[in-house]
Structure 1
Amino acid sequence: MSTASLSLVADTIETSDQPDTDQTTTTDTDPIGENADVELVAPPEAVAEYKNPHELIIDENVRMSFDLDDYPEQEASIRVRGVRAPALAQRGADGKIRVYDGQLRVLLARRVGLESVPVWITPADPDVEDNEQRIERLLDQITLNDRRIPLPEVDRARGIAMMLELGATPTRIAQGLARKRGEVTKTGAIGASQTATRLLAEQQFDLDQLAVIANYDTRGDTDAVTRLENAGRWNFAYTRRLIDNERTTTKDRLETGLAYAVYGFGILTNEPNPDTGYLPIDRLVTEAGEPVTVEHLYTDPTLWVVWLAVERGRLLIDTETGAHVAIEDVDWNTRGNPAAQPGEGLRHVDTVTRADEWTPTYYLPEKALPGSGFTLVATEPDPEAEASAVAAREQARLDRRRVRVLNERGEAANERRHEFLPRLLAGATLPRDTAAFVAETLAHRLGVDERAQVSALLGIEASSEALVVAIRAASPNRAWKIVLAMQVAIAELKIGKSLWRDGGESTGRYLRFLSEAATELTIRTGDTDFALVEVEQAAAGLIDYRDINIES
């Protein structure tokens, strides 16, 4: 073998990095995603050469049914990196080179326009009959196929993580592996986390969920990792949102607490229980028996700690000055209409924004009570009354905590639901009960006159209860008809004789719908009995009412 040939063999053995594929479980004798359990070794008497793929003959192969279109990732990799692992071929007595292993690589190389591919070429033994050579080639193909093992996803994730750690960019790795950059980033994060890689092997979570777990794991947030792992796949999004919001609140609390810390106050990260050694300010008085005020605290802030509770979006703030605004000073009817004029003495909704309200509660550590200049409020002489007062304080604390915790969970639930809704509506098929849901919702909102109109249209008793019964018994198509009837009733009751002038946008939208529906009905059934007349056209915004000829 020549020096050039030896160099080629060494290069192909050491850099065999074809793209991975989920299709390696097929009976493919072509190591297109070469994940083999044996080291590539040159066949006996093989010569390594680069050949034009069009010069190679694809020999018979145990894999006979395949479609090159089924290998888009491999095609993309070959287009970017070329063919790296050599095909196996024999040079016959006629000088032609026949490939017996690597047919897909050669065919894909032809498709993408490569001018050369690496090939290990062995000479056909002239003393061996042709049938015997074919048998040996087929044995080689089957053996190579059987010994190929798909790369486990865990190993792939760890490999990507290692490349990222070594300085490779996600873009470079994505191009090299013919994968999406976002997928590489997520997979690399998973590979850097022991917990995420374990869960990947157990196939408990999808790639996005594992990337979230990996993110918290690399930050050392073991509480978040445990909660997410215990949440399972179906409750994952809610738990993740809840944890994210909790961590955001903790961060915001510490940032808000800096304004207190600069004076010397200690900052609590959790609201203290009564038995944790902290005395709230309302349980203390001065030595003179006066209530403790905030002014007393600032005489020596280092004695005190503060707990900051938050209510998200509770405050209204002037968008320009940052000053607090009372809720009763805002004209909420101007919402969604920048041009609206607020009522007298009121301001437009757009001039205010929501802000979080942080409420401090001050505590004195029990160990700091002696010599502090403060003492406990005198207890009730009646033990039962004192116990009742203690219980009332504790219940009030628990009630406040319940509101805070449930609000946090409500916020997380809302965010998770808002993420889900676009996916719900993204498909071509609506949920089976959509029509019934919309119809029943409308049924409960109809007024007396509207229900009467629906009754006239559909022959249903004019009551909400009767409408609901009819809706629940209806097929989806019938339910949609009921929905349409109710919308028609709502629209019709808004239309008066001056519709041409003051119909409004909703009336115009309704009439344009009727015009299009009438056209469809004409096409479908030949019914030509309805079309918008001029006053309706004016109401629909199709013509100007001033252009109507009133003399005809």
Structure 2
Amino acid sequence: MFRSFIAGVDYGVRRGRKKVGGHPITRLRHERSPTMTQPVAQPEVVDVDPRTLVLEANVRADADLDPEFIASIKTHGVLTPVLAVRADDGTLNVRAGQRRTLAAVEAGRETIPAYVVQDAGDPARRIVEQMVENDHRRNVRDSDRTAAFKQLHLLGLTASQIAKQTCTKKNHVSAVLEVANSNAATVQAKYDLTLDQAAILAEFDDDAELVEKLTTITLDDPGNLIHAAQRARDERARAALYAQAETALAADNVRVIDLDDDANSAARCIDYLRQANEGEALTVENHATCPGHAAIIVRHGWNEQMTYEPRYYCTDPTANGHEDRWGSAYAEPKKGPMTDEQKAERREVVENNKAWRSAETVRREWLAQFAKRKTAPKGAAAFIATALAGRAYLIEKESQKSHRLAVDWLNIKTEPYRTAEAIESVVDGSSEARAQHIALVLILGSIEDSTGTHTWRSNGSERAYFTALAAWGYTLSDVEKIAQGDA
């Protein structure tokens, strides 16, 4: 247990210093200062009941004892001795290690190791030593933790066993091991990435080009990584659904065409066609043998409701003996070839619409976490007042229909048409600060419910909304910056 302490003593000997131990304050004790006295010789390491220790005044105002830390102390004990000073009456006062001491008491440890020195009676020394002891401590890097968990796993420990031994949540251990067993572990170690960042890279481990792109975003614009990752997930989902629809068409010997291709400029949907000379209307079945029989794949809905379905076309109706089904007055509008400018504009619309849907997923997940706050953030009151003044629908009775997002974020259970009563019951049991935050969430939910792909084209009409979200910690994607009016 005290190998590091002994090593510190040896180091002191090699440096020609007195054997005062390996604690970081060793050097400080040898500094001469008008406000500091010489150290007392012969410190010792003793096992002591933590309940008998007295905590000195500490520069750290809050011990911040989290459950994981207490669990670790309960399982492994205090591995690094606390620094204690012995007062003239023999009392041991904890100078450095109040968290370890308090956690040991909470965990029911009978003894903990203490590195004991004589009290020099210098308040300035106490403050400096406490600052030094905290300032020069560095947490284990996430990449080091990843490597350590992988070694434990290779030694035969399961995720559950690692979680128990290290007092870490099992889902966190599983996430670390997933990174450890991917190429992302190498990237994490090279660039000192956080676990969250490395986990995103590990998710796309089968696509080296995408991982490289996401790594660049992580290094250059880390706040945008979550948006880029969601966009990549959505693109994968779309590609999978599209491929499924394409495979089904190929099984029926139906070729898929691209209407943006000038070679298909004469193509018409069979829903608007019939056989020549007022013949029967075209259907998938009776048009299947036509040389021009083809299809495009059309998306319906977004996210969880998204599907891809075929829409059938004839690539050359005139040559294949078809005419407008209801006469020229009701024919499908014919579109001539698009100009390069029109194509560029259409691509921009398509790309920004896709980006908006991906950003919407990220934004609403963030808002769900934001809703769990106990108090409203700075500027909330002004935002609420301004929103109510400029959006009459927020105070209309029918507005409760748009509270569907807010009640979900606030985890309010309600029946249809009983939303208002459910919200009121939650507010009645809340503090003033929490009630204000609930009001803010209701307004944010209503505004969010009114947004869509049209929002980024609305010339900054939602500037106040997106500016507020950014001020409260949300990272705007590029398309949201357009909606904000700043791009």
TM tier relative to shorter chain: 0.3 to 0.5
| Rg (Cα) greater in structure | 1
Give TM-score scaled by structure 2 length: 0.45
